[in-house]
Amino acid sequence: MSVSRRAVLGSVVSLPFAAQALADTPKFTVLLDWFVNPDHAPIFAAKYIGAFEKAGLNVDIVAPTDPDLPPRMVAAGKADMALSYQTQLYLLCDQGLPVRRTGTLINQPLNTLMALGTSGITKVADLKGRKVGYSVAGVDDVLIGTMLASAGLTLKDITLVNVNFDIVVALMSKEVDAVIGGYRNVEENDLKEKGQNPVVFLPEDYGVPASDELIMMSNTASLKDPRLPKFLQAVKQGGDALRKDPAGMWEKFIADQKGVNNLLNKTGWFQSVPYFAKNPAYLDVKRYATYRDFMYAKGMIKHKGDVSAYAVTIAA
């Protein structure tokens, strides 16, 4: 669609004033969960369509050097929002950290248990006597144990191997026969790109309650910060723009973020579009209660507080 010369001139003239106004506005610092990737698409789309600027927000998007740091920095008041995971949320709150889920970016699980097609593993029961890789002690082993139970097995029937997030390498080198923690929009695609035929088991099909994969956390002291609902609304607008024009947003993303323009990211970008929450502010209280009960029953958390002790709804 062409743009009139008047519209172009108008935007050019107004940009310095808008930029100056934002420069004088305190930063709203958002810490990503890890390096920039397609899982963050609605946030970047919100940036590209000017939704943050229109909301009067001076948003600073920061990729952390350590994925464990973002929630703890928010808890310490050193950032305004952090991306993290629903499981991590309960663990942090159980430790007494002053954080709450205030928004959702991806409202469905992406985690998988994977094996290579050449492994001979076609069902969970086939894991008996095999080596299974994991990355996060105290979490992954619980998930694996739950999945094994659906086939009448226990952790004693397998050998656990810490692969330290090197999921694809561990599988392809045959260090392990299967591994948990690979995402269905990342590692599964990576293995396919490498000529493999991964066998994928979804935890929610084997006794693990569904959860929100990627959430937004804020400090409990800032839950009434008027910028929070503005940020969530802007991310919603970004998600809407992404769903309307994923190809156009991809082009903006690769122009903005050097190093992401590869087949793996491109595949993940388009595959992930349906995964994003249409309303980031919406809280599924029942889902959060169910997952809390699961973690408590498995001994992952010591306290069984009300859902509000973990997650809240931010009113517009």
- The pLDDT value given to residue 141: 96
Assess whether the region 5-107+212-309 and the region 111-205 belong to the same CATH fold: yes
The percentage of the chain sitting over the pLDDT mark of 70, rounded to a whole number, equals 92
Mean of pLDDT values over 215-234: 98
- What is the model's pLDDT at position 22? 62
Parallel, antiparallel or unpaired: strands 81-84 and 131-134: unpaired
CA dihedral angle for residue 179, residue 180, residue 186, residue 190, rounded to 10 degrees: 10
Look at the block and give the residue holding tokens 């107004």: 14
Compute the average pLDDT of residues 160-174.
94
13, amino acid identity: V
- Delimit the domains of the chain by residue range: 5-107+212-309, 111-205
Predicted model pTM: 0.90
Q: pLDDT tens across 119-128, in order?
A: 999 999 999 9
- pLDDT tens, position by position, 74-103: 999 999 999 999 999 999 999 999 999 999
Contact 280, 236 (CB under 8 A): yes
pLDDT for the residue numbered 13: 34
Biggest CA pair distance of the chain = 71
Whether 52 has a pLDDT exceeding 60, the answer reads: yes
Q: Is the model's pLDDT at 6 over the cut of 50? A: no
Predicted confidence band of residue 113 (pLDDT cuts 50, 70, 90): very high
- Identity of the residue numbered 154: T
Q: What is the pLDDT of residue 23?
A: 65
What is the reported pLDDT for 225? Answer: 97
Mean pLDDT of 26-53: 97
Assess whether pLDDT exceeds 80 at residue 2.
no
What is the pLDDT confidence band of residue 9, given thresholds at 50, 70 and 90? very low
Is the CATH number 3.40.190.10 carried by domain 111-205? Answer: yes
- Across the range 14-22, mean pLDDT stands at 48
Instruction: Check: CB of residue 222 under 8 Å from CB of residue 314.
Output: no
| Position 178 pLDDT exceeds 70 | yes
The pLDDT of residue 20: 52
Distance between CA atoms of residues 278 and 283, nearest Å: 12
Is residue 118 scored above 80 in pLDDT?
A: yes
* pLDDT value at residue 1: 35
How high is the pLDDT of residue 171? 96
- CATH number among 2.60.60.20, 2.60.40.10, 3.40.190.10, 1.10.3720.10, domain 5-107+212-309: 3.40.190.10
Instruction: Report how far residue 131's alpha carbon sits from residue 14's, in angstroms, rounded to the nearest whole number.
Output: 61
Q: Using the CB atoms, write b or e for 167-181: b if 16+ within 10 Å.
A: bbebbeeeebbbbbb
User: How do residues 245-295 score in pLDDT, each as one tens digit?
Assistant: 999 999 999 999 989 999 999 999 999 999 999 999 999 999 999 999 999
